[in-house]
Amino acid sequence: MSALSRLTATETKLFLREPMIVFFALAFPPILLGIFGAVPPFREPDQSLGGLRVIDLYVPIIVAMSLAMFALNGLSQLFATYREKGVLRRMRTTPVKPAMMLGAQLLMSTIMSVGTMAVVLAVGRLAFDVRLPRQIPAYLLGYVLAALAMFAIGLLVASRAPSGRSAGAIGTVLFFPIVFFAGLWIPRDSMNDVLRTISDFSPLGSAVQSLQDATAGHWPQPLHLAVMLGWTIVAGGLAARYFRWE
């Protein structure tokens, strides 16, 4: 096994030892989908939504929400804690450099989030007859860009937070407006024009619309792809500029 593979396996074991983080990152999204699906009106077609059901809209929203959990409540807090405790500083004296740790964390978060996405899609399909994406390449493109944007934001939080606790607090503060504009409380299709416009330029609002378009069999709109790419470039660039290993 390569050093990256071994480090990723180790970080995964450490991740799985944190029951609360594991629950909210892996188990909570499909459970939340099950709660929404248990509401009878959410399973009925709504003409104001173009004949779709509310539960149809919530599958991509919950997929996007799981990315926010990994990035803002996992990745950012973990890296800030490692820096606070001197783990990254000590690693600089070993053959495994801190950048390798960054790669292992991103790889682990990506694999875990893809697994969560698969479970959410499976629950939606098997339990509530939510159709699977018709444009698989478009869906994967939207998902990858959403993951890059959220992980870049998570790393930006980690770069500025002085401690793991403060990173968790900052991540929580950012989490709620980000998932609000993704449509968790009010689906994007039910938002007024002002909220919808703001959502279009938010990282997860554009992600949810891209996933919805791909599910319907269309390619995401260039605006939404550009927004996610823009968040990745800006947040990633700032994270690289201000990230401190010790």
What does the pLDDT read at residue 219? Answer: 95
Q: How much is the mean pLDDT over the chain?
A: 89
What does the pLDDT read at residue 10? Answer: 85
- Indicate whether 194 pLDDT > 60: yes
What does the pLDDT read at residue 233? Answer: 95
Closest CA to 202 of 170, 230, 168: 230
- In angstroms, the CA 69 to CA 113 distance is 9
- 131 φ/ψ sector (left φ>0, alpha ψ -120 to 50, else beta): beta
Query: In percent, how much of the chain has pLDDT > 90?
Result: 59
- In angstroms, the CA 69 to CA 21 distance is 9
- In angstroms, the CA 62 to CA 184 distance is 7
Least confident of 62-76, 82-96, 123-137: 82-96
Q: What is the mean pLDDT of residues 113-133?
A: 94
Query: In percent, how much of the chain has pLDDT > 70?
Result: 98
pLDDT band at 182 (very low <50, low <70, confident <90, very high): very high
- In angstroms, the CA 63 to CA 88 distance is 31
Residue-wise pLDDT tens digits, 196-226: 999 999 999 999 999 999 999 999 999 999 9
Whether the CB-CB separation of 194 and 212 falls below 8 Å is answered with no
- Indicate whether 244 pLDDT > 90: no
Q: What is the mean pLDDT of residues 151-180?
A: 91
Closest CA to 184 of 49, 36, 20: 36
Whether the CB-CB separation of 236 and 159 falls below 8 Å is answered with no
Domain range summary for the chain, segments of one domain joined by +: 3-242
- Indicate whether 75 pLDDT > 90: no
Residue-wise pLDDT tens digits, 47-58: 888 888 999 999
Sign (positive or negative) of CA dihedral 42, 44, 48, 52: positive
What does the pLDDT read at residue 1? Answer: 54
What does the pLDDT read at residue 222? Answer: 96
What does the pLDDT read at residue 189? Answer: 85
pLDDT band at 14 (very low <50, low <70, confident <90, very high): confident
- Indicate whether 187 pLDDT > 80: yes
Q: What is the mean pLDDT of residues 130-144?
A: 95
Cβ neighbours of residue 67 under 8 Å, at least 6 residues apart? 113, 146, 147, 150, 204, 207
pLDDT band at 125 (very low <50, low <70, confident <90, very high): very high
Q: What is the mean pLDDT of residues 142-161?
A: 93
Q: What pTM value is reported for the model?
A: 0.91
Whether the CB-CB separation of 78 and 163 falls below 8 Å is answered with no
What does the pLDDT read at residue 64? Answer: 95
